[in-house]
Each structure stands twice: as structure tokens, then as C-alpha cells.
Amino acid sequence: MKTGARLLVDGLQREGVETIFGYPGGAVLPVYDELYDAPLRHVLVRHEQAAAHAADGYARASGKTGVCLATSGPGACNLVTGIATAYMDSVPLVAVTGQVPTTMLGNDAFQESDITGITFPITKHNYLVKDAAEIGQVVRDAFYIAGTGRQGPVLIDLPKDVMTAQVDPVPEVQEARLRGYQPTYEGHPRQVERAVALIQEAERPLLYIGGGVVASGAAAEVLALAELTAIPVASTLMGLGAVPCDHPLSLGMIGMHGTEAANFAVTECDLLIAVGVRFDDRVTGRVEAFAPQAAVVHIDIDPAEIGKNKPVDVPIVGDARLVLAAITAKLARQERGNGWLSRVRRWQEENAPAPAAGLDPAGVIRQMNALLDDEAIIVSEVGQNQMWAAQHYCFRRPRTWLTSGGLGTMGYGFPASIGAQFACPDRTVALVAGDGSFQMNIQELGTVVEYKVPVKVVILNNLYLGMVRQWQELFYDRRYSYTELSPVDFVGIARAYGVEGRRVEDPDEVGPGLEECFGTEGAFVLDVRIEREANVFPMVPAGAAINEMIGRRG
């Protein structure tokens, strides 16, 4: 005989879960009582939103499914932003929430919220379990759904009386087989043949890769195809690291703050091979002007993405790794003797970044890059800090860059970096933050101290909500409406929690500051006072064509 709460813990262990990020409350206490003796590591965060982001960071860094736990009502609702963040970026996550007893559902009971209804549009699937005997199978199915096909979050809502109910006998858990859910992994052979023919005929082909390449483990297959056929590669924000940034065929990031070479290449290519991407508006700009001369091959495991934003000539539904391997196996080595690669390289050379005066945020990122090895995991908040890190850090391996791409969640980075450090305790995890975004989950300094998490925090501090201010400067005649922030003593706050820190206000102090930050054994907060009105360039204004960049470097 076992309780529902015990069956949940058994199910988590059966799925190989080692770490849970959570915050207790009355409705979920039966689970916490079981966790007291369970061989699972529970990390007590300081806010439920941080639990979801930490589980997300754990998943992105490790490739495993992350798990978070919260109580009913406000606890469950505080998970919503983290669940939505994971949903937008296709991160495997299982969120478990406590709920009021089944007899009180729908009665506006204390701390009741309809969390399955609330999360319906932002989860891949969710469950309200009313029979404790079903818990084991629900856990098995939830992990299967979260981690297969296009990955994403699944929520399990457990009423308190279901957690305490006694189950005897305990049903045997079966393999997950869900009617109507059968992800397609192999690409259709006829479409693969069509893609091969287009690659052989193309004069100006371009690979456009995204987070789906990282999720499927297809980095080696992308590089093999690119090198075999001499095709340059442009990456979305989410795809950075899949191809080494300093590879001769890498054009870096594409899109609103992408490189000139990537944006010009997509405008002039005659074949676009899109892999694990969703033609996001921050990438395409005005979609009619995105790859206007190109035939489009789109490879994605989610059929709903194909043709959603951009018409496609060759749709291939399947796992990126398997499809790319099938395409590459049918191709012979090709050379590009028509000047396409020379032209792309000329764009790169003509638009190489120039050094900036003062305390330049790009220079801070480049110095970080020089100090850290290829195994380091870089996490960002959202805004200018995110774009500077994406533009100027050289990512060479998948799963070394964690950021909120789809939802753009300020406050994501710090808890996600904690999750990444739990997933990869032997690697350096560094957070690039803005002063605004770091304050959104600054309370997690308490978690860092309690669990001795050696996360390194580098704040690019301009006393502004920087990206919003940049838009106000460029498009609202410098009317900085409510984007200026008061100075904060981040070093003092860090020390109050028990974390070491240092403030840098002079360009000559950046190097020593970073060396102290990364040389310190435990966590460290480095507050770098950058140029207040530094901007992220180049930039494609909203609604413009992708090659209509302003503030181009030169």
C-alpha cells in the first residue's frame, strides 16, 4: 500500500530524476513529507518562478527533463512565466503542483486556482489527477511527452486528497503509448531526394539553423553537411554554439541584431535550408523580404511549424539529426567556385566590429571569452546584455548558451544559471545580466549561498532598462519614459547574502575584475558600470527587411 504522494516520488525516481527545484506550501505538503526521506535532491529556491527557470536551465544544460514543484494557487501561478518560457523555447520540463482537495475544486477554496486551465495554452499537455492509482502512469506519460517530438513542458496537478489516498494494490506502470501522439523522426524519402537535388543545383545556398539543432543533437550533422557542400551557416539566437563561431563557414547570428554577413546572405541566397527553426519575426523582419530569391527547404520535427510563417518548397518533418544524415549520405563533395563564399567573407571583413571608447560592453564580453574555456556555460538575462553576449561571445559547443529566446523573459537568467550549475557542477557557469533584469530574481542569491552554487554574475550596469531605452532613443525621440533606474549597491547586496563581489568603473579594471570573478572559488557578483547609452548594433527596425540595418559597424 502506498500513498499518492509516495507514488509520485517513486515515479520521479523511475524516470531518473535526481534534482527537483521547488517551494513548499500547504496543498503540497504530503509530497514534501515523502521528499524528507527520499533519495532525491530538492533545491529550495526563494520564489516559485525561479524554480521553473532553474529546472529549465538544468534541462538546457544537461539535455535531461527538468522538474519543478510548487503548491496550489499562488505557488502554481508563480510557475506560469517559467512554464511559458520553456514552452516557447521547446524545453523539456515537468511541473508538479499541489491542488485543493477534489471535494473543493471549483469552490474558490483557499489557494485554489485552475492551473490546468491557466497553463493549457503554454504546456504541451497537462493533467489534473483525481485517482491516486493513476499517478505512476501519469508520471511516465508526462516525461515521455515532455522529452519526445518537439520537446516542451507538461504539468501534473495533484489535489491534496489524491496525494494522501492509499493505493492497494499499486498498478504496474506501462510503457507510454498515447493515442494520437506519434512524433515523426524519419524524413520522407521523396522530400529528402528533392532537398538533395536542390542542394546540388544551388549556386548560393545558405544553412539557417536554430534551437531544434541543439535539441536534437544535430550539431555534427550540420557541420558535416556544411563542410561537404561548402554551404555557409547562419544561426538564430537559440542555435548559437551548434557550429563553432570561428569556423570558416559560420556567419554568426541572423536577425534583428544579427551580423551583416548573415543578414545579407539570407537576402541574396538562392536556396535556404532551414533546420530546427520557426521563422520567428525577430529573425525574418518583414517576412516577404526574407530570402526573397530562394527556394526553401524546411526541416523540423513539428509539422505545425512548416509553412506557418514562410512558404516552403520542400517540407521535411523529422528529427534534424536523422534528416541531415540522410541528406548528407546522398551528396558528394561540392566546391563553390562561383564566388559565393568569397562574397560572404567580404561582407564579414567589411563589417568586422571596431573597438569602442570607454567602458564598452562588447569589450567586457570579449574579455570574458578570452578567460573561459569552451566548456563554460554562458547564461543571459534578456535585453541588451543578451544581445551583446550573443554577438561577442564565441560559442563553440552546443548547450553552452542558455537564454530566453521566444518569450524574452527578464529574470530568467539568474535562476537558470543555478539550474545549469546543478546539472554541470564541474563546469564554469557565468551569467551575463543587466541591472534591471538581475533585480527581477535577485533573491536567488539566498539559494546560491545555501547550496554553495559557484555561479559567476557579470552585470552590465547602465542604470537603464537598456533595450527599451535604446528603442526610445531611436524611435521615440529620446523620450526615456520610465526606463532610468536608480543606482543599486549590488556588491553590498551580494555581501549581505554572503556572496563576494566587486564594482568596476574604469576600463582598466575590467580585466582584473573578471579575473577575480572567475578565480574566486564560490559565487561572485561583478558589477560593471558600462557606458550608459551604449547601443546594440546593427539593428533591423521592426517591420523592416532584414538587410535594412541601422547603426552598422564599420
Catalytic residue among 387, 440, 467, 539: 467
Q: Is 160 a catalytic residue?
A: yes
Helix (H, G, I), strand (E, B) or coil at 103: helix
Question: What cell does 450 get?
Answer: 545555501
Catalytic residue among 2, 124, 160, 310: 160
| Secondary structure E strands in 160-287 | 166-167, 205-209, 233-235, 250-253, 271-275
Closest CA to 461 of 431, 434, 486: 434
Q: Is 48 a catalytic residue?
A: yes
Distance separating alpha carbons of residues 172 and 136, to the nearest angstrom? 8
* Whether 270 contacts 294, CB under 8 Å: yes
Helix (H, G, I), strand (E, B) or coil at 460: strand
| Secondary structure E strands in 142-195 | 153-159, 166-167
CB atoms inside a 10 Å sphere around CB 385: 32
Distance separating alpha carbons of residues 20 and 14, to the nearest angstrom? 14
Residue 275: strand pairing partners: 209, 299
DSSP secondary structure letters along 325-342: HHHHHT------TTSHHH
Bond from prior residue into 169 cis (ω within 30 degrees of 0): yes
Helix (H, G, I), strand (E, B) or coil at 202: coil
Catalytic residue among 13, 18, 104, 111: 111
Q: Where are the alpha helices (DSSP H) in 372-452?
A: 384-392, 413-423, 435-438, 445-450
Grid coordinates 551557416 are at which residue? Answer: 233
CB atoms inside a 10 Å sphere around CB 332: 7
Catalytic residue among 48, 268, 305, 444: 48
Helix (H, G, I), strand (E, B) or coil at 359: coil
Catalytic residue among 110, 186, 308, 533: 110
| Secondary structure E strands in 248-326 | 250-253, 271-275, 295-300, 314-317
Residue 300: strand pairing partners: 317
Q: Is 151 a catalytic residue?
A: no
* Whether 111 contacts 71, CB under 8 Å: yes
Q: Is 467 a catalytic residue?
A: yes
Distance separating alpha carbons of residues 485 and 464, to the nearest angstrom? 5
CA 511 vs CA 206, 305, 371, 454, 504: distances in Å:
38, 44, 9, 20, 10
Question: What cell does 161 get?
Answer: 486528497
Grid coordinates 523582419 are at which residue? Answer: 285
Helix (H, G, I), strand (E, B) or coil at 22: strand
Q: Is 452 a catalytic residue?
A: no
- DSSP-derived secondary structure letter, 324: H
Distance separating alpha carbons of residues 252 and 283, to the nearest angstrom? 13
Active site residues: 48, 110-111, 160, 467
